[in-house]
Amino acid sequence: MARRWRAYSAFVRTEFEDPAPSGLWRLRGLLRGHQSQALIMLEEQAFLRKEYTPLSLYTRRLAAYNNRIDQFLFNKLNQKAWLDHVMPSVAPPMTHYVAGQHLVDLAKPEERLEFGTILSLVNQKGELFLKPAAGGHAKGALRLVHAPEGLQVNGRNVHAREWLDGFLRQKPDAYTISEIIRQGTWSETFFPPTLNTLRVLTGTHFSNHRTVILAATMKMGRPETYPTDNWKIGRGGISALVDPLNGVLGPGLSYNSETRGRQVSERHPDSGVQIRNAVIPNWDVVKSRMLRLASQLPYPGLIGWDVALTNDDIVIVEANTTPGLAIHESHASLRRTPEQRAFWAEMGIRDKPRST
C-alpha cells in the first residue's frame, strides 16, 4: 500500500509540473493515474480501450524491476565508461566533465583544468554540447557555439565571462561536455538545427536475458525545442513510429496548442520534408547493434536508447533507465505482439492495465 501511495504521489507531482490540456483532462488523468498530456495524445479508441500503461503503475514496476540497471547506468558518465568498453564505436564523443569549478579531461583524468578552459575548447572545436550527467528530458542542455560576436549559448549571444560566472553559481557538478555529433544526411534533412534521434525501447528479459526491441520512434526537433529534439509528450518536437520490420516511418505526431489535441502530419511542419514512408537507412544494422547492446547489459531490464544516425553507423547519445512510454503509446499500443506481451508480463504489466 505504501508503495502504491508513493508511486501515485510521484505521478501527481509529475502531472502538475506542466499545464493540463483542460480541467477535464486533468481530472481524467488523476482518476486514471496517468498524465493528462499523455492521455490526450492517444487515438480516441486507444483512450477508450485503455491501451496504455498508467504512469502510477509503471512507476511501481520500474522501481521493483529496473532498480539494478538504473543504479548501474543512470549516470551518463557511467554510460560513457561502459560503452567505451563494450562497443566503443558507438560511444558518445564525451571529452570532459565538470568537477566543482574545474574540468576533468577524460583523456588525462589526472589533470584538473580551470573551468574557463571551456572557452578555448569552444574556440578550438567550434561547438560543444553540455548536459547534466544525471539529468533527463533535455533539462539543462546547452549548446555552446563560437561565433564572430563571441559566445552563443543555445542560439543566444552572451558575454563569455558573465556566462561562466552564472553557470558556476549553479554548482554544475558532473555536467558532461561533448563534441557535437554529426548526424547523417537522412536524419538531418528533417530539421537541420537539431540532432534528430531515434528512440529505441529494448527489453532484456528477467527470465533468460533474451533481448527484444519493444518499440522504435523517430524524434525530430522544431525551433521551440532547440538545441534538442525533445518530444516532451507532444509539447516539443515531432515523433514518428518506426516499423520494426523494415524501418519505415509512420506519420509525424505532435500537439496542437490551438485545438488542444494530437496533430498528425505527413510532412515536417518547418522543413516540409516528407515523414510518412521515409525509410531509416541500414535499418537491419541499427537493429542488430541495439539488440547486441541490450544483451551486453549486466542486468536485465528496460532501456530507452537515444540513437544518432550517422552516415556510416550509429552513436548512442544516452541510455534512459526510466524511459517514458508515451512517445511510443501515442502512436500504437505496446502490447500488440506476443513478444511485447511476454516482456511486460515479466514486469507485472498485464494486457489490460488496472486502475490505481
pLDDT at residue 354 in the model: 43
pLDDT in tens, 80-139: 999 999 999 999 999 999 998 899 999 998 888 999 999 999 999 999 999 999 876 667
Q: pLDDT grade, residue 278 (50/70/90)?
A: very high
Give 150's Cβ-side CA count (13 Å radius). 10
The predicted model gives 221-249 an average pLDDT of 89
Domain 67-90+184-346 has CATH 3.30.470.20: yes
CA atoms of 136 and 133, how far apart (whole Å): 9
β-pair type (301-309, 197-204): antiparallel
Q: In what order do the strands lie in the sheet with 211-220?
A: 261-265, 249-256, 238-242, 211-220, 197-204, 301-309, 314-320
Query: With the CA atoms of 341, 347, 348 and 353 taken in that order, what torsion angle do they form, in degrees rounded to the nearest 10?
Result: -60
pLDDT in tens, 288-323: 999 999 999 999 999 999 999 999 899 999 999 999
Q: Where are the domain boundaries for CATH 3.30.470.20 in the chain?
A: 67-90+184-346
pLDDT at residue 137 in the model: 66
pLDDT at residue 125 in the model: 93
Nearest of 212, 211, 203 to residue 244 by alpha carbon: 212
Nine cell digits for residue 215: 518499440
CA atoms of 189 and 154, how far apart (whole Å): 20
pTM over 0.85: yes
